[in-house]
Amino acid sequence: MTGTAKAERRRNALLIFISLAALYASSYFQRTAVPGTIFNALQTAYGFTAEQISFLGSCMVTVYAFLQLVAGALADRYGGIRLVVFGGAVFAAGVLLFPLCAGNLFLMNAARVLVGAGSSVMYLSLLRESDATFGRKNYAVVLGVIYFIGYGGGLLGTWPFAALCRYFSWRKLLLAVGIVSAVLYAVFVLCARRAAPRRIRPGGSAPAPLAGVLKNPLTWIACYCTSVNFACYFLLQSVFGMKFLEDVAGMAPSPASAVIFSLTLVCMFTLLGGGFFCRMLGNRRKPMVVISTSVALSCIVLMLLAVLLKLPPAVFAAAYFLSAFASGSSGMFVIVAQEVNAARAQTQAAAFMNMCCYLAVAAAGVFIGRLLDSFVDPALFAAGRKIVYPDRAYVTLFSVLLIPTGISFLLSLFVPETKGRFLK
């Protein structure tokens, strides 16, 4: 292959990475904007309960989670480009349908299922193409960049989206976002057509590597720890975090959404800096793992004390930022899950971890919705009034969350140091 041909191939690979990363960012916008940012609007306009609103998020992430293992196997065999060509079309259909069927809870959930199914292929496809394009040596740094871009899309679903909702209909805004997502998908397809097709691996390569991943107890420890961190952060960011700041901290919608915006920003820069910090420590993984679980536990303790002692809003914001820092270490957990297993199982390890994270989000979202609703008279939902959940509801919630975060911290102490090497 000539030097010119190699340069052209590298340029095409970079275009694929950029367009796929942009599409991944648009999928992350959907996770943060719906339902958390429009929580009150859905309650007042349609009389939805907290459980029904939470399910709009949970149904998406449940489908997303269960398809991770399938997406991982398909990405390994067919490559990420082929996978996103099909998955991106499903995603675009879902994001366009959701605002068009506002008010019909069944169709809204169906649209969210399409969003979850379509976006389930993007993260793992991006990992697969990045490993092939940039190599393992730069993997930690590239992974940080991927997360930074993805969370950047999520960032737009917080304060910027909430600010626009004060002047425009959220349905029209989400329709506009859906059109942009469809355009991004079209750009990706055009870029993908210029790329040389990757060789299709023969046979079904998934069962053996996945079996090894599932049999490894260290996989389960790493997955549990990051699932707890991620679920606590994601639910603050995307479901009840803004609502909580309005109900308990007494914030107006604008400053509350600004806190969620800053929360996402903290997480983004932690994800980006984590890879460089790891390199500075000689590729040591464990320090970030233990620090993140201890910070996650500290966040829940601080949130509980802030509610009980009626501390000022700044304390709640600080606790949110601690949660963002803890979740921002998730990239390190992905690397740990890969490196405690065999090199041939790295995509399946990442897929299994991602599945665990989003199943935790789905289950916790439904649980939190039911818990909050149990403190409110059901007749208030039918009246179409804005619901304010009492302090004791949140005290109960954070008291319960002390258990999984405490266990997570203890388990993180048993994670081995891999230093960038596969242990099997």
Q: What is the pLDDT of residues 102-145, one digit of tens each?
A: 989 999 999 999 999 999 999 888 887 777 677 656 666 787 78
Q: How many CA atoms lie within 13 A of 128 on its CB side?
A: 26
Q: For residue range 293-339, what is the model confidence (pLDDT) as tens digits?
A: 999 999 999 999 999 999 998 999 999 999 999 988 877 898 899 88
DSSP state of 105: H
Give pLDDT, residue 308: 93
Which position has the higher pLDDT, 66 or 5?
Answer: 66
- Give pTM, 2 decimals: 0.76
Give pLDDT, residue 205: 47
Which position has the higher pLDDT, 29 or 387?
Answer: 29
Task: Report the candidate in 230, 274, 420, 214 with the shortest Cα–Cα distance to residue 335.
Answer: 420
Of 75-84, 222-231, 268-277, which one has max mean pLDDT? 222-231
Asked if residues 359 and 44 have their Cβ atoms less than 8 Å apart, the reply is: no
Which position has the higher pLDDT, 215 or 343?
Answer: 215
- Provide the pLDDT confidence category of residue 211 given band limits of 50, 70 and 90: confident
Asked if residues 61 and 361 have their Cβ atoms less than 8 Å apart, the reply is: yes
Q: Is a pLDDT exceeding 90 seen at residue 182?
A: yes
Give pLDDT, residue 246: 86
Give pLDDT, residue 141: 75
Give pLDDT, residue 27: 93
Mean pLDDT for the chain overall: 85
Span 231-240, average pLDDT: 80
Q: For residue range 278-293, what is the model confidence (pLDDT) as tens digits?
A: 778 777 889 989 999 9
Spatial separation of the C-alpha atoms in residues 255 and 261, rounded to whole Å: 10
Q: How many CA atoms lie within 13 A of 20 on its CB side?
A: 31
Structure tokens at 88: 């991106």
Q: What proportion of the chain, given as a percentage, has pLDDT over 70? A: 92
Give pLDDT, residue 3: 61
